[in-house]
Chain A
Amino acid sequence: MKYATSAFLAFMTLCWPSGDAVADLRDAVLLKAALRNGFTTPEALSRPFSREKSAVGRLLFESTRLSLNGDTSCKSCHLDRFSSADGITNAIGVGGRGEGIDRLKSGGAVVPRNTLPLWGRGAKDFRVFFWDGKVEQTPAGVRSQFGAYAPSSDPLTVAVHLPFVEIREMVVDDAHVSREFEKEEVAAAQRIYALLARRVRDDDTLGSGLAAAFQIDRRDITFAHVVESITHFYRDRFRIRETKFHRFIFRGAALSAQEREGGLIFYGKGRCVQCHGGPHFTDFRFHAIPFPQAGFGKNGFGVDYGRYNVTFDDRDLYKFRTPPLFNVAHTAPYSHSGGVAKLEDAIRFHFDPLRFFNPAEHDLVERVEFYKRLSAWSGNELRVPVLSDEEVGAVASFLEALSFDSIPPQ
């Protein structure tokens, strides 16, 4: 019967003379909606960068010398293979070995959040960093853990400073570190930065490369130079490039019927655009979606309060920054703790979280935590309405059209 229905519909579609007109209307609606919601060219988002600084920034990005105990680099968790993420649920920081599932099994320190991809982080208008927005551009300046001592007025530069002083991420959690550095003061971070800068100065490749890129004496290298060259690398390597959707909007190329339908749902009845709008497909605001909590969570015991950890405002409980969507189809797993393996399921969690929840699989604390997340989500009027499996598939197909080559030409 199902085949008969499909055959009948296909036949009817073929016999219907106005198919092209309908497609044209839909294309026009999608194009207008995308532009109205801030979609723009990759060039319009690009920020200038120095090739010399980017080249040495890449070396620094890949160097384990920039972790206090010398075993972790930025690249340990931001891999080309996983489209600048790491392909695992919670990140594994210091002590981790290998990539993907091997790293998860290696026994390194668990960083209780999902590694964020880096696409567009160096682009214009990218103003809120990390899952909980712990670095953000505000009208009053950059807000971060550095307080009044922010090392820069550029939020990316401030954000790049942080992983190097994050316990478990790039700093081993041992007695020495606990005694010398684990203090709630900027001066402790600055001591680590000074130590890392000295290592870079002492390294022939990194030191001479950085000195040449900045046209300074090697002895004058500071950690600010290190970070600045990494930000140039971000602007270069992780810049937004042309996607199939760009070609549709700006060059008149065709989308598949499924991609077009997905786009219309995204900008239309799915209301995805209400949070995933703007040039980066994010409103840079914070919303609660009742995703499963994988791992022990930022607050321990399987709990992650999200944005609350930054603002201490109980209205921010369980909220996380809306993730940007370029290359999202290639950066699984999804959500703040990486608890969702498939993109389609990540979409479904926005409107049908109970579909995935089996109370028998959870203990009391986990169940109650889930109810709290559910409660935070259910009060939001911006919720996605009902979507069929076919419609979810179409949205996923549209999101695939926001992909570009993960590994740019060298």
Chain B
Amino acid sequence: MRLGLPRTSRLLAAAFVAGAVLSHLAAPVYRQIVMSIAYEPYARLVFACDNAMRDHLLVKQRLARDPASDNVSALEAAEIGLLDCQDYDQMRKRLIQWGLRDNELALMGLRAIEEKATSLHRVIEIHEIRY
């Protein structure tokens, strides 16, 4: 059966379908490229924010235990340190704006957190008791 459409329209329709298929196939590749480019600074901010939050918690605990002026000023400094988390949030939102989804961001975060896993494997390789 032949469609009763002019030749130009058929071409446009074919181009549209091809474009849709191509963009569907290319999206993961695009996201992978964005991930690989953004990974390093993102991982840095994941660490910085995590570090700032842990530091803040530890200082708060210390202040609760000992309300000395040094601990008060340490808490004030740790609060400013939480600006690292603002940087992290902003980069996360930018990456979402650039097309990454929660899954990709979670994957990047996990990779950053477990970056030292290779050295742990190395330690196990060296020290595990082999029967």
Residue numbers in A under 8 Å from B81 (CB-CB): 268-269
With both chains docked as a complex, state the minimum distance between the C-beta of A378 and any C-beta of chain B, in angstroms: 16
How far, in angstroms, from A388 to B70 measured CA to CA in the complex?
Answer: 25
Taken together as a complex, chains A and B put the C-alpha atoms of A297 and B61 apart, in Å, by 40
Check: A4 CB closer than 8 A to any chain B CB: yes
By the criterion CB–CB under 8 Å, are B77 and A274 in contact? Answer: yes
CA distance A273 to B73 in the complex (A): 8
- Given contact pairs A22-B86, A29-B80, A33-B80, A385 touches B94 in the complex (Cβ within 8 A): no
One digit per residue, 1 when the CB lies within 8 angstroms of any chain B CB and 0 when it does not, for chain A 145-185 equals 00000000000000000000000000000000000000000
Verify A264–B90 contact, CB threshold 8 A.
no
Q: Which size class do B's interface residues fall under?
A: 20 to 34
Whether B44 and A268, one on each chain, are in contact in the complex, defined by CB atoms closer than 8 angstroms, is no
In the complex the two chains form, what is the Cα distance from A268 to B83 in whole Å? Answer: 9
B46 within 8 A of A: no
| Any A CB within 8 A of the CB of B78 | yes
A349 to B90, CA, bound (A): 32
In angstroms, how far is the closest chain B Cβ from the Cβ of A379?
14
Q: Which one of B8-16, B35-43, B118-126 contacts A?
A: B35-43
The chain B residues found within 8 Å of chain A, CB to CB, are 37-38, 40-41, 44, 51-52, 55, 62, 70, 73-74, 76-81, 83-84, 86, 90, 94, 97-98
Q: List 28 A-B contacts (CB under 8 A).
A: A4-B37, A5-B38, A5-B41, A9-B38, A9-B41, A12-B98, A15-B97, A22-B86, A25-B86, A33-B76, A36-B76, A37-B73, A264-B83, A268-B77, A268-B79, A268-B80, A269-B51, A269-B77, A269-B80, A269-B81, A269-B84, A271-B74, A274-B70, A381-B62, A382-B70, A382-B74, A385-B51, A385-B55
Sort A-B residue pairs by CB-CB distance and give the 10 closest, nearest first: A269-B81, A268-B80, A268-B81, A8-B37, A271-B77, A12-B94, A268-B77, A5-B37, A274-B73, A4-B37
* A binding-site residues for B, Cβ under 8 Å: 1, 4-5, 8-9, 12, 15-16, 18, 22, 25-26, 29, 33, 36-37, 264, 267-271, 273-274, 277, 381-382, 385-386, 388
